[in-house]
Amino acid sequence: MAIALVTGASRGIGKATALQLASEGYTVAVNFHHNIKAATDVINQIVDAGGKAFAVRADISDEAQVMAMFDSIDREGEPLAALVNNAGILFEQSTIENLSAERINRVLATNVTGYFLCCREAVKRMSHKHGGKGGAIVNVSSAASRLGAPGEYVDYAASKGAVDSLTTGLALEVAAQGIRVNCVRPGLIYTDIHASGGEPGRVDRVKSMLPMQRGGQPEEVAQAIVWLLSDKASYVTGSFLELAGGK
């Protein structure tokens, strides 16, 4: 079929998306940064189910590593048809008085610059004007981009606001080149990222505040991502899907 690159694919939403894309027939490029064991486990699950996958290690905030990752994908011999920008970082909950420039810059480097770099390299390969066959990109944002995450991580929320703007602008920029660009905004999802924020049980603590009275599962977000990448969403670009239980 073709290759789908999923960044941050060794856990959570990225892992669930990689597994579902493989079941749809994509060869999945499983990007990871540190945890090669987790990435290998994802690949083994895909292969055991009859799918195809390979690992690509890169810190997406590093331009040289991103370019090397895409070069390695090129060597696989199949066209890149899909990009899921999912990798992201989050630090411990904090009010703005305690945010250091180092922390802010690290969040922006991964969550914003990393997304831009991956989009840039994907467009070079997908765009009709570069000889590509077209493709689709899904950026994973967050409900925090709308809600602001006050008292917890406004730096993360701001980074996701930038992802939203990237989605809107890039969708318009490349629409005539055969590339669709869309975005999902997950809310309270049961993933490991809450532990990075210092509160592993955050979803259970606040789920009663949601209209649906529950947290979401990574697989529910993955299903939306896979749909946006599919031909069933062939007339959808520049759109945002809220996966936040009604909030």
Q: What is the DSSP string of 19-82?
A: HHHHHTTPEEEEEESS-HHHHHHHHHHHHHTT-EEEEEE--TT-HHHHHHHHHHHHTTSS-EEE
Q: Domain boundaries in the chain?
A: 3-243
Backbone phi and psi for residue 35, each to the nearest 5 degrees, phi listed first: -90, 85
Contact by Cβ (8 Å): 39, 19: no
Name residues of the chain where pLDDT drops below 70: 194-198
Q: 26, 115, 153, 156: which is the annotated catalytic residue? A: 156
Residue 192: predicted pLDDT:
76
Q: How many CB atoms lie within 10 A of CB 208?
A: 8
d(Cα 236, Cα 231) in Å, to the nearest integer?
Answer: 10
Handedness of CA 139, 144, 147, 150 (dihedral sign): negative
Cβ(124)–Cβ(168) below 8 Å: no
- Whole-angstrom CA distances from 247 to 55, 139, 149, 241 are 35, 20, 13, 12
Give residue 225's Cα distance to chain centre: 9
Q: Could you tell me the pTM of the whole model?
A: 0.95
Would you state the pLDDT for residue 223? Answer: 99
- Cα dihedral sign, 48-50-84-218: negative
Confirm whether 190 is a catalytic residue: no
Per CATH, domain 3-243 is 2.102.10.10: no
Beta strands in the chain (DSSP E): 3-6, 27-32, 52-57, 80-85, 135-140, 179-186, 240-243
What is residue 196's predicted lDDT score, i.e. its pLDDT? Answer: 64
pLDDT of residue 31: 99
* CA dist., res. 121 & res. 3, Å (int): 14
Q: Can you give the pLDDT at residue 204?
A: 85
The Cα–Cα gap between 27 and 41 comes to: 16
- Residue in the block written with tokens 């990871």: 32
Amino acid at 155: D
List the structure tokens of 107: 């969040």
